Amino acid sequence: MSRKRVLPAIRSASAATKLLLAALLLLLITAAAAYAAQPAKPGITLQVSPASQSVERGAPAKYTVSVTSTGGFVGAVTLSASGLPSGTSAAFAPASVTLTAGSAATSAITVTTTSSTPVGSYTLTVSGVSGKVNGSVAAGMTVNYPISSSFSMNVTPASVTMAPGSTAAYTVALTRTNFPGSVTFAVNGGLPAGASATFTPNPTTGNTSTLQITTAATTADGSYALYLVGSGPNPGGSTQYAYASVQLVLSTSGKAFTITGNLSGLLAPGKSLPLDMTLSNPNKKSLSVTNLTVTVQSVTRTSHAVAYNLPCSSADYAVTQYAGPYPLAVPGSGSASLSSLGVASSAWPQVRMLDTASNQDGCKSATVTFAYSGSGQGS
């Protein structure tokens, strides 16, 4: 009989345990739901682009860092970088960003290296801090030895023959190897007495410049060797040089003739136009012409440009010299234009108005006067 009484008691205890376990489970589910419902803590996240890059030492490495608000963060975040190699510095623009809830902001990072920065791979840490809130992101940077830098000059034509009192024009072409900086030109010797040299543009970050040699009517006849030099800083900051030489021949024994020219339209900023030149021969015998050059002699602004002090000068124009065949035959007591001689317009002198912020209005409808020179020998 005692066994029959114990069995119901055991069954009764098992049911109570089940109820207790169910209650505990319900309590845990309720606590988890309450925890999940709690708002996230205010914070920030950082991203950087590019994630890694390679530069030559002496050149800057540039990144963009993006800072994003999380959990409703609001405030100003101050940015910094660590892990920089020796001989470098990091600048942020801006140095801090201000976020509203859920917003993002960016800052440009420039890591400046020097010629003494150790070559190698580095991991930079970009950090953002606002009180107790902070975040960071890693960026890779590899510093390499600089590639060899150089530039050279080629000047055409090699020789110009003209009468004293004329202007000779040469085209200087640069060939650059890892040399992005500006190059300054000069004539380092050989100019005849009374002559002057002008390079346009000077200095230049481009690959061409025009050299004009202006002589006086009293300059003595003769053959002159002109020595040209170009100089500029390489990426490492050291000055490098390039040299060239050309010949200038002054002679009063050439046959006299005149040159005029007309552009095939109106110039506009950044626009080039061909210049068709006409050669007039007053001599009874035919004439062989070589060494044609064109220079911008003067620019006359409109009255409106003058009244409002809008600038425009010969420096706002560039001339690409004649590139056609020589000699050009002009009949006695006659004239011939480049077009009538069958010279393609692509080989005519090309005149271009430079496109700058300052000459848009000042050069509008301006009158440009050209000076011409060349050499003529009678048959």
Question: pLDDT digit of tens for each residue in the chain (379 aa)?
Answer: 444 444 444 444 567 677 777 777 777 776 666 555 566 799 999 999 999 999 988 889 999 999 999 999 999 999 999 999 998 999 999 999 999 999 999 999 999 999 889 989 999 999 999 999 999 999 999 998 877 788 999 998 888 888 888 888 888 999 998 898 999 999 999 999 999 999 988 999 999 998 989 899 899 999 999 999 999 998 878 899 999 999 998 888 777 789 999 887 888 888 999 999 999 998 888 888 888 889 888 899 999 999 999 999 888 998 988 989 988 999 999 999 999 999 999 999 999 998 887 777 888 888 999 988 888 876 5
Which pLDDT score is estimated for 309? Answer: 92
Phi, psi of 36 (to 5 degrees): -65, -30
Residues of the chain with CATH 2.60.40.10: 43-144, 150-250
Beta pairing partners, 375: 290
User: Which CATH number applies to 43-144?
Assistant: 2.60.40.10
Phi, psi (5° rounding) for residue 11?
-65, -40
Q: How would CATH label the architecture of 150-250?
A: Sandwich (2.60)
Q: Please report the DSSP string for 51-74 in residue order.
A: SEEEEETTSEEEEEEEEEEETT--
CATH architecture of residue range(s) 258-378: Sandwich (2.60)
- Please give the pLDDT value at position 9: 45
Residue-level pLDDT at 7: 44
Contacts of 259 (CB under 8 A, 6+ apart): 277, 278, 279, 280, 292, 372, 373, 374
Instruction: Tell me the pTM.
Output: 0.51
d(CA 64, CA 49): 5
C-alpha 363: how far from chain center: 24
Phi, psi (rounded to 5 degrees) for 37: -75, -10
Q: Is the dihedral of CA 10, 16, 19, 21 positive or negative?
A: negative
Apex 247 CA angle, 246 and 253, nearest 5: 160
Q: What is the pLDDT of residue 368?
A: 92
Query: What are the residues facing 120 on neighbouring strands?
Result: 143
- pLDDT at residue 6 in the model: 45
Check residue 210 and give its pLDDT.
86
- Per the CB < 8 A criterion, the answer to whether 137 and 65 are in contact is yes
